[in-house]
Amino acid sequence: MKIKISFPDNSTKEFEQGVTGLDIAKSISEGLAQAACAIKVNGKVQDLSLPISEDSKVQILTFDDPEGKEVFLHSAAHLLAHAVTELYPYAKLTIGPVVEEGFYYDIDHDPFTPEDLKKIEQKMHEIMKRKEIIKREMISKKDALELFKDNPYKIEMINDLEEGSISIYRQGSFVDLCRGPHLPHTGMIKAFKLTKIAGAYWRGDAKNKQLQRIYGIAFPEKKDLKEWLRLREEAEKRDHRKLGKKLELFSFHDEAPGMPFFLPKGMVIWNELIDFWMEEHRKAEYVLVKTPVMMNRILWERSGHWMNYRENMYTTTIDNMDYAIKPMNCPGGMLIFSEKTRSYRDLPLRMGEIGLVHRHELSGVLSGLFRVRAFHQDDAHIFMTEEQITSEILGVLNLCDRFYSLFGLDYHLELSTRPEKSIGSDEQWEKATDGLRKALDETGRDYKINEGDGAFYGPKIDIHIKDAIGRTWQCGTIQLDMSLPEKFELTYEGADGKKHRPVVIHRVIYGSLERFLGIMVEHYAGKFPLWLSPVQVRILTVADRHDEYANFLKKKFSDADIRVEVDSRAESISKKVREAQLQQVNYILVIGDKEQENQTISVRTRDNVVHGEKDPDEFIDELIAEIKDRK
């Protein structure tokens, strides 16, 4: 019996019933068959070896597809676990998921050493070369309990499952409890690296036993691993935590875990980012507001946060009333809109707020400025009519483009549509999604559609920026909301004299200012453009007799709003130049007898480009122009 298979390009092909994903890939090309990691059948990702028995829409997934990459990395986690069990048969396996950068496996075993990792890697290479076939089997819960009777962690997981068939995967002598899917065989995992060892509690509970977590990364080709290692080395050099300390930008203290302290030089960058934000938002006709950091339980119950987000909120009791420090700015913005009667003539109302929010993150996930407990969101809430959706979304996209272009950041756009669980009518969702899609089309940029990945209260656009070494970061988000206007009973008076419910856009551009600043430190590797730089000019004196002229120049630069320092220490000029360069000072001015006599300056840059002797006033004019243009 024949079945019809449809492909993403809308082409179709007939196959015999029971055809596998691997058969379909081979019918297209041998190269695709060799690269295939899994197949998506009617929206569900499954093993290439499983038979297809009915007309279906399919997509062959390779490492280049996010879902294919996930299958590949999960199979690499099994390869790691297989190697561990061959080397250390007494080790107890727990779970081995895919994470943002690679995979890990948690193992009950004495602490592993770097030498152990080398042995495990070597054993993984042996298993890879064997090209062990990876097979899926379905067994009963009773048989699963018997199979894993010596592993209390697997027994606990099996007991959590409902009665019925349970999937396991075998590769050679190795067997693991797993939903899958997986690669056809281990030989596809040609390049991998175990990256680090860490401790982790079983199921994240400190009351449980601490396990050994082995992290790794894997690729289909050795050249991909080589490039990853190169980028990782470059990323290490750019680590914002190291540079932040070296350049005296920010610090962290045990007295306030996950809450950064910004130092004077860090505050310079912070204020420049905010000044630019304010300037652009005034041009875009936003009004600025400020809402309280702490509000009572009644508000958070109304917004839904008390029921759904309370474990991430810091709470207290005042006058027998529960309060919470805000994890988001949105509810406060809703209260401001509701303060008075609004007309359709008042819309769109673009309300911006750089609000300080707090969210409780587990201590184990805190990471410099990238994951903190206290941060500022550059929020805006745009209240509008349904007819204004497309134009307002387009306005936000254009604003985002001005921001990211200034910092030399490329970006891509993703549209996430209605999930299975959602609120609102079909008509509301159709209008909202169509408004976002039209705005994206008008930008002329390509965008990806993530079907079913929207928030329960509305579709959204995510903006992923790409930094100087090719890493992507999700910063900007534009979300349409049909929930909070309902919960807060927001209305405006329409042209027909009747009450209507406004549509709300939630949007951020920087996202979190702390995180964006951390990204900028790494993007520029600490070499900030002049307008952002904490110290723009440093004047170096050759001898004490040049101090008076140096201080005269310092005042000249300061009066022109140029950030300047004088280094008059009794050190050699070469040492002072080197230190200024390591501190990433943009322009280094040397003052000696000749410069003092001629009333000039000798200019060089942090990259050791010597510009020679210049007139101070002319140089100041050059700097003012460079700062104004934010080059």
> Is 611 buried (19+), middle (13-18) or exposed (0-12) by CB count in 10 A?
middle
Percentage with pLDDT > 90 across the chain: 85
Please say if the pLDDT value at position 285 is more than 80: yes
Q: Which two tokens stand for residue 402?
A: 């001005």
Strands 44-46 and 537-541: unpaired
pLDDT confidence tier of residue 256, bands split at 50, 70 and 90: very high
- Cα separations in angstroms, 213 against 82, 105, 202, 440: 15, 6, 10, 42
User: Tens of pLDDT along 150-185?
Assistant: 999 999 999 998 878 999 999 999 999 999 999 999
Cα gap 340→323, rounded to integer Å: 25
- Cα separations in angstroms, 380 against 199, 289, 405, 407, 506: 40, 9, 20, 21, 6
Residue with tokens 């909070």: 484
Query: Angle 44-453-333 (CA atoms, 0-180°, nearest 5)?
Result: 165
DSSP of 396-437: HHHHHHHHHHHTT-EEEEEEE---SS--S-HHHHHHHHHHHH
66, 466, 526, 244 alpha-carbon torsion, rounded to 10°: -50
Q: What is the pLDDT of residue 604?
A: 95
pLDDT, average across residues 436-446: 91
37: closest CA among 72, 76, 8? 72
The alpha helices in 309-345, defined as continuous H runs, are 330-337
Residue with tokens 């049909």: 482
DSSP of 91-135: -EE----EETTEEEEEEESSPP-HHHHHHHHHHHHHHHHHT-BEE
Question: Which helix (DSSP H) or strand (DSSP E) does residue 434 occupy?
Answer: helix 426-443
Q: Which two tokens stand for residue 453?
A: 């990945």
Q: What is the pLDDT of residue 429?
A: 86
Please say if the pLDDT value at position 538 is more than 80: yes
User: Tens of pLDDT along 78-136?
Assistant: 999 999 999 999 999 999 999 988 999 999 999 999 999 999 999 999 999 999 999 99
Angle between helix 389-406 and 426-443 (nearest 10) = 40
- Contacts of 336 by beta carbon, 8 Å cutoff, 6+ apart: 289, 291, 351
105: closest CA among 85, 78, 86, 87? 78
Residue type, 370: F
Mean pLDDT over each residue of the chain, to the nearest integer: 94
pLDDT, average across residues 558-571: 96
- Contacts of 352 by beta carbon, 8 Å cutoff, 6+ apart: 281, 286, 287, 288, 289, 378, 379, 380
DSSP of 456-474: TTB-EEEEEEE-TTS-EEE
Other residues' Cβ atoms within 10 Å of the Cβ of residue 184 = 22
Q: Find the distance separating the first CA and the last CA of the chain, reported in whole Å.
A: 66
User: Tens of pLDDT along 14-36?
Assistant: 999 999 999 999 999 999 999 99
Report field, pTM of the whole predicted structure over 0.85: no
Q: Which residues are catalytic?
A: 330, 359, 377, 379, 381, 460, 506
Q: What is the pLDDT of residue 102?
A: 94
Q: Which two tokens stand for residue 318?
A: 């005042």
Q: Where are the beta strands (DSSP E) in 307-372?
A: 315-318, 321-325, 349-358
Q: What is the pLDDT of residue 331?
A: 94
Coil/strand/helix, residue 19: strand
Residues β-bridged to residue 410: 466
User: Tens of pLDDT along 302-358?
Assistant: 988 998 888 999 999 999 999 999 999 999 999 999 999 999 999 999 999 999 999
Residues β-bridged to residue 41: 44, 58
- Contacts of 235 by beta carbon, 8 Å cutoff, 6+ apart: 469, 471, 522
User: Tens of pLDDT along 464-516?
Assistant: 999 988 888 989 999 998 888 999 999 999 999 999 999 999 999 999 999 99
Longest dimension (CA), the chain: 98
Q: What is the pLDDT of residue 426?
A: 83
The alpha helices in 131-253, defined as continuous H runs, are 141-147, 152-160, 222-238, 240-246
User: Tens of pLDDT along 396-431?
Assistant: 999 999 999 999 999 999 999 988 877 778 888 888
Please say if the pLDDT value at position 555 is more than 80: yes
List the domains of the chain with CATH numbers: 2-62 (3.10.20.30), 69-227 (3.30.980.10), 250-291+326-523 (3.30.930.10), 537-628 (3.40.50.800)
Q: Which two tokens stand for residue 256?
A: 């306030």
> Contact 252/506 with Cβ under 8 angstroms?
no
- Contacts of 66 by beta carbon, 8 Å cutoff, 6+ apart: none
Residues β-bridged to residue 316: 323
Please say if the pLDDT value at position 280 is more than 90: yes
Other residues' Cβ atoms within 10 Å of the Cβ of residue 587 = 25
Strands 19-20 and 98-99: unpaired
> Contact 195/215 with Cβ under 8 angstroms?
yes
Q: What is the pLDDT of residue 363?
A: 82
288: closest CA among 208, 217, 350? 350
Q: What is the pLDDT of residue 362?
A: 84
